Amino acid sequence: MAVGKLKGRQKAAILLISLGPDTAAQVYKHLSGEEIELLSLEISTVRKVEKETQELVTKEFHSIAMAQEYMMQGGIGYARNILEKAVGTEAAEQMMHRLTSTLQVRPFDFARKTDAAQILNFIQHEHPQTIALILAYLGTKQAGQILSALPEGIQTDVARRMALMDRSSPEVIAQVEAVLEEKLSQTLSQDFTEAGGVEAVVEVLNGVDRTTERTILDGLHVQDPDLADEIKKRMFVFEDIVTLERRAIQQVIREVENDDLKLSLKVASDEVKNIIFENMSQRMAEAFRDEMEFLGPVRLRDVEDAQSRIVATIRNLEDAGEIVIARNEGEDIVV
């Protein structure tokens, strides 16, 4: 049978047969149980493989493996360029099509390997929507560094556009990537992909400095108060209390209502309960434990509302400069 007519699973079976049992066994260690079952079934149906077919399958695998290696080094454009020189335009295009159709590469993956300051240099004068699209696909630390370094006048706009972003069409992504391809000599193509949204902004803001965070949230509060409140609520969740310093936890305990604290601990993790009780007096902790036992069943909604009120108190204390919420701040970008 011609190699071009073989299915992917058939080629994989022929390749494993060609590699021999020892090497095939090593490959199996990296596969799922279902994949192993399907491949083993395919191998069992192979009766005879022509030497020419075996050589062509092995050669194709080697070419695709090399193409993937080239992509790791410099992106699809680089891989295509190298392969065209090695095997010709037509063969290279066929290999790249097979490779890209199975890789499911995330948009702007190439940019994740680029220095944040370099990306900033290329995109800082672009439209806020373009910047938002790019940041939505970058790593949160990298995006946080870039967002922190953008002019204050557009930080809020970019953050808002990220939060409201839902889906981006392949055409839009391709156009934006084409610009970066020209500047970074790298490009990528893909199908519809979800990006952005409130969670993306929360993750990015958790990586910026407090001044940048406050500037963006204040600006968002003016433009879209509901969106600003939604982002603010998600930036520090109740379980994050364990990251606070002991003094801060003790102050929170003094500030919140006892009834809210009892309710909030009803479904809290043991780690949260322990750290709260450790920062109470022994008498108060014992009283809390006893009273919580007699609470009986409570509505989850009531627990969540109590936790939200405590989180709001923590955020207010931070805004007033009375406590500090630890953040995973990235390195500053020097521009």
- The yes-or-no answer to whether 109-232 and 238-319 have a common fold is yes
Is there a contact between 207 and 236 (Cβ–Cβ < 8 Å)?
Answer: no
Least confident window among 66-80, 145-159, 230-244: 66-80
Provide, rounded to the nearest whole percent, the portion of the chain with pLDDT above 70.
70
- Give the model's pLDDT for residue 151: 87
Name the token pair of 136.
């939505």
Greatest mean pLDDT among 35-49, 64-78, 253-267: 253-267
Greatest mean pLDDT among 17-31, 35-49, 96-110, 298-312: 298-312
Mean pLDDT of 72-97: 66
**How many Å apart are CA 186 and CA 216, to the nearest integer?**
31
- Give the model's pLDDT for residue 79: 63
pLDDT interval class at 139 (50, 70, 90): confident
Interacting residues of 115 by C-beta distance below 8 A, sequence separation 6+: none
Report the DSSP pairing between strands 193-194 and 167-168. Answer: antiparallel
Q: Per residue in 41-75, pLDDT tens?
A: 677 666 677 788 878 878 777 766 666 665 555 55
Mean pLDDT of 150-177: 80
Mean pLDDT of 81-95: 70
Mean pLDDT of 127-139: 85
Fold category of 238-319 in CATH: Annexin V; domain 1 (1.10.220)
Per-domain residue ranges of the chain: 3-103, 109-232, 238-319
Greatest mean pLDDT among 69-73, 251-255, 285-289: 251-255
pLDDT above 80: residue 83: no
Q: What is the mean pLDDT of the chain?
A: 76
pLDDT interval class at 249 (50, 70, 90): very high
Amino acid letter, residue 199: E
Mean pLDDT of 245-263: 92
Provide, rounded to the nearest whole percent, the portion of the chain with pLDDT above 90.
9
Name the token pair of 33.
């149980």
- Give the model's pLDDT for residue 276: 93
What would the 3-class secondary structure string for the chain be? CCHHHCCHHHHHHHHHHHHCHHHHHHHHCCCCHHHHHHHHHHHHHCCCCCHHHHHHHHHHHHHHHHHHHHHHHHHHHHHHHHHHHHHCHHHHHHHHHHHHHHHCCCCCHHHHHCCHHHHHHHHCCCCHHHHHHHHHHCCHHHHHHHHHHCCHHHHHHHHHHHHHCCEECHHHHHHHHHHHHHHHCCCCCCCCEECCCHHHHHHHHCCCCHHHHHHHHHHHHHHCHHHHHHHHHHHCCHHHHHHCCHHHHHHHHHHCCHHHHHHHHCCCCHHHHHHHHHCCCHHHHHHHHHHHHCCCCCCHHHHHHHHHHHHHHHHHHHHCCCCCCCCCCCCCCCC
pLDDT interval class at 15 (50, 70, 90): confident
pLDDT: which is higher, 183 or 254: 254
Q: Which one of 3.40.50.170, 1.20.120.920, 1.10.220.30, 3.30.70.930 gives the CATH number of domain 109-232? A: 1.10.220.30
- Give the model's pLDDT for residue 187: 36
- Give the model's pLDDT for residue 140: 82
93, 95, 96, 100: CA torsion to nearest 10: 140
- Give the model's pLDDT for residue 167: 67
